[in-house]
């Protein structure tokens, strides 16, 4: 029996697109203003700042393009989540304990509670959520039997216990995961 590979885009209808446009716009304006001002005062620093701004624009364009062209994938018994050049997570379906609907939790003053050891499957950068309290809508969470390893910025490894899913067609993604988990459990039981 051949199981097809499922792909799920996660950047569509995310607030990240608007943040991306604002950041690119800001970098270009800042690059021009700093270059004009610093060229008169400190030409060497102006050149360094120009190179750094150009690099940051290229990095942001590359990150967004990688995110657009790298959907979350479910292949046979594995799930691969790569969020641009920033973060990634790979795990087996057998490592999933359960999947349940979820929502963002708020403290008494209305701020978002930022739980630890969670992989946020969203295009929107977590640092913006932490600082400004802006986020895409949380829809489901995947809870693991035991901690799994994710990769963060600069390849930094971290152990996580849950995945929070924020993208639009999360229901289809979860349904596909659950169907595959049932097939795997059925195959294990029939082999015993």
- How much is the pLDDT for 190? 66
pLDDT digits (tens, 9 = 90+) for 94-145: 899 988 888 777 777 777 777 788 898 887 776 676 666 666 677 888 999 9
Q: Write down the pLDDT at residue 161.
A: 92
Q: What are phi and psi of 71, to 5 degrees?
A: -75, 165
Report residue 2's pLDDT band, with 50, 70 and 90 as the boundaries. Answer: very low
13: left (phi over 0), alpha (psi -120 to 50) or beta: left
Q: Give pTM, 2 decimals.
A: 0.77
Tell me the average pLDDT across 148-173: 87
Burial (CB < 10 A; 0-12, 13-18, 19+), residue 181, is middle
């Amino acid at each position: 029996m051949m199981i097809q590979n499922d792909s799920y885009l996660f950047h569509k209808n995310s607030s990240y697109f608007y943040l991306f446009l604002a950041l690119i716009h800001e970098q270009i304006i800042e690059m021009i203003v700093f270059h004009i001002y610093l060229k008169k005062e400190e030409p060497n620093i102006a050149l360094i700042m120009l190179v750094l701004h150009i690099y940051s624009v290229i990095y942001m364009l590359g990150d967004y393009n990688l995110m657009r062209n790298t959907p979350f994938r479910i292949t046979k018994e594995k799930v691969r989540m790569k969020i641009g050049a920033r973060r990634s997570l790979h795990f087996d379906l057998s490592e999933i304990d359960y999947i349940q609907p979820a929502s963002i939790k708020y403290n008494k003053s209305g701020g978002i509670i930022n739980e630890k050891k969670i992989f946020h499957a969203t295009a929107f950068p977590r640092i913006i959520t932490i600082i400004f309290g802006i986020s895409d809508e949380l829809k489901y969470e995947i809870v693991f039997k035991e901690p799994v390893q994710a990769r963060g910025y600069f390849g930094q490894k971290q152990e996580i216990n849950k995945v929070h899913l924020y993208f639009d067609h999360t229901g289809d993604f979860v349904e596909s995961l659950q169907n595959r988990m049932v097939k795997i459990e059925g195959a294990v039981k029939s082999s015993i």
